[in-house]
Structure 1
Amino acid sequence: MSNQKNLYSPFEGKIIPLQDVKDPIFSEKTMGDGYAVEPRGETIYAPVSGTVRMVQGHAAGFSTAEDLQVLLHIGIDTVSLDKAVFEFNIKEEETVKAGQVIGRVNWKAVEDAGL
């Protein structure tokens, strides 16, 4: 039996190893295993098919039928940004399909904030 899971990129862009992220919370896998993306676009896509468990400004959480818990965290130190920077069009308990458009990010606003 394989432990391999298929996750989809939440952004168009380059996939990078989590250990290359400049925040030890992620690079040391304190929040769990995963990957990072250097985004090339503002559209956010669902990383898995499943149920939305949490939507909170810069992050969203999902669970799959296989009980995989997935956290989509956008940016580093972005928790302080105005919620208008992150526009999710999903709600808790909603069902999503992997690759479905679930929102947008205003990267210019993130950059203007120095993040």
Structure 2
Amino acid sequence: MSAVIPPPHTTTGLLPPQQLTRTEDGEQLHALLWRAGAGWRMISSAVLGGGLGERAWVLNAQVSHGYRRTDPDRHLADLAAEARMEGPGVGLMTAADVRATRRDARPALKSPGARRRMHPRSEYA
């Protein structure tokens, strides 16, 4: 007898991120945290939680310009633990100020050709 495994959660909308702030080496840095919850299948090439599998959260952490740590996976795991995240998740790093994020309500396009047809003067033309 085989077990019945429920399908992973899916959604068409974007989860709103939580904005976090921390201080490292005297510099104020920011992060965005999406709390999806258990049972979400995600795909990522991130240094922490990369690959395909169930993940409960996504953390995009700002790091200083000239970041020199040699253990980014451990650093991201520590940041996630400080935010009280449990279970597997995805951890990303950027030197960009993540407070400048915005949500884009336009539908995702499947190919550069589709974008060219919609926006003939776009950078993809």
Q: Do the two structures share a fold, i.e. TM-score over 0.5?
A: no
* TM-score class normalised by the smaller sequence: under 0.3
Relative CO higher for 1 or 2, CA cutoff 8 Å, sep ≥ 6? 1
TM-score (norm 2): 0.24
Greater C-alpha Rg: 2
